[in-house]
Amino acid sequence: MKISKRAQSVPASATIAVTSRAQELKAQGVDVVGFGAGAPDFDTPKYIKDAAIEALKAGKTKYTSAAGIVELRTAIADKLREENGLEYSPEQIIVNIGGKHSIYEAMQAVLDLGDEVILPTPYWVTYPETIKLADAEVKIVQTEKSTDYKMTPTQLRNAITKNTAMLVLNSPNNPGGFTYTPDELKALAEVLEGTDVCVISDEMYEKLVFGKTEFVSFASLSEDAYNRTLTMNGFSKAFSMTGWRLGYTAGPLDVIKAMGRLQSHMTSNCVTFCQYAAIAALGEPAHEAIEKMRQEFERRGKYMAQRLNGIEGVECSEPTGAFYCFPDVSSHYGRNINGAKITGSMDFAQAFLEQANVAVVPGLPFGCDNNVRLSFACSLEQITKGLDRLEEWLSQ
Ligand code: PMP
């Protein structure tokens, strides 16, 4: 059957090859250590599951308004006011089917053919594809190790053209594991003043910040930033609810209404009983539930970075957020390890998996071929085992 040009233009995820091979090896009984996970390894907290069960029992099983039930949008508005210093009315909030859907729909609502979207590296693999699906052009800003892979105000200024319609910011960052400081974000916000650039601020990892790292919502930086920003967040990472498919977008009323119109024809509402569980998720027990997971991630991230830096030819900043280390392993490129020629991150990940049975994600699809991504959403025991193998594999 004919496949549309649109669908043909979307490649299968470049990270899938490694993941599927890891699964294949596991199925054969090989003891594979998986550093590929993009989901917390904790169960969803019980109080949230209980709320979903209660909602089901109470018959919350029918359609809701496409944008989500007003009680949930009100709870999100309260959260954004109290935790992020952001004043949004429930009408300025739409509940989407996961953060991925928020991003897709926001881009569909804002972008046109010929628009340019600034995307600093390293970027989450989905952004370039959603930009292209909205007929817009990806304008990559290559960041440097020396700035901890953060885009500088000068780089942003130089990337803006008369066609720039959007900037995608993601802090804490997947795959980089870094977080922009409030001052760094302020400096970027100032560059945007006087332009028509809309910002998607992907705050999915907001709750997972470590040490003295301070999280700040981009829209809270100034009135100008507020007016140009779509604040995107969700329940997947903070509450360990990746399978529940709950994300949300808050922003200017006209954009949120446009997203609502699209959503009313594309998907309608998020799963109804999940919306009730989301209200519960934002309630009183949230702090303790999140803090337990956050502390564990912090402990693992510190350990992983320390171990990585102890390995010859591997350089890694300590993560300040999310659950990823993104070491530069490029000093091993050009080597031949047990017959495998390592020319870049794809070869590195493939050979490491085949020879040492550890799955890492190559940096190339994130825009940084010098790096690989290791998720620490797995036990400390697995982390130790995987890093022992890395040390041994690279020392050959
Ligand atoms: N943004 C970032 C940066 C992510 O890493 C992810 C998940 N990998 C998402 C958004 C989307 O999350 P979900 O669709 O599971 O809510």
More confident residue, 37 or 386: 386
* pLDDT tens digit sequence for 183-236: 999 999 999 999 999 999 999 999 999 999 999 999 999 999 999 999 999 999
Confidence of residue 272 (pLDDT cuts 50, 70, 90): very high
Own/partner long-range contacts of 131-140 (Cβ < 8 Å, ≥24 apart):
131/107, 131/168, 132/9, 132/10, 133/6, 133/10, 133/104, 133/107, 133/108, 134/107, 134/108, 134/110, 135/111, 136/107, 136/111, 136/112, 136/165, 136/166, 137/163, 139/164, 140/367
Q: Is the CB of 242 under 6 A from ligand 1?
A: yes
Q: What is the pLDDT of residues 322-343, one digit of tens each?
A: 999 999 999 999 999 999 999 9
19 CB burial (10 A radius; 0-12, 13-18, 19+):
middle
Mean pLDDT, residues 159-178 taken together: 98
Q: How does pLDDT run across 118-157, given as a tens digit for each residue?
A: 999 999 999 999 999 999 999 999 999 999 999 999 999 9
pTM over 0.75: yes
- Which residue owns the Cα nearest ligand 1 atom 7? 38
203 CB near ligand 1 (under 6 Å): no
234 lines ligand 1 (CB under 6 A): yes
Q: Give the pLDDT confidence score for residue 20 in this predicted structure.
A: 85
Report the atom number in ligand 1 closest to the C-alpha of 38: 8
Instruction: Give the pLDDT band of residue 37 (cuts 50, 70, 90).
Output: confident
Distance, CA 100 to ligand 1 centroid (Å)?
6
**Is there an atom of ligand 1 within 6 Å of 36 CB?**
no
pLDDT (0 to 100) of residue 357: 97
Q: Is the peptide bond before 120 cis (omega within 30 degrees of 0)?
A: no
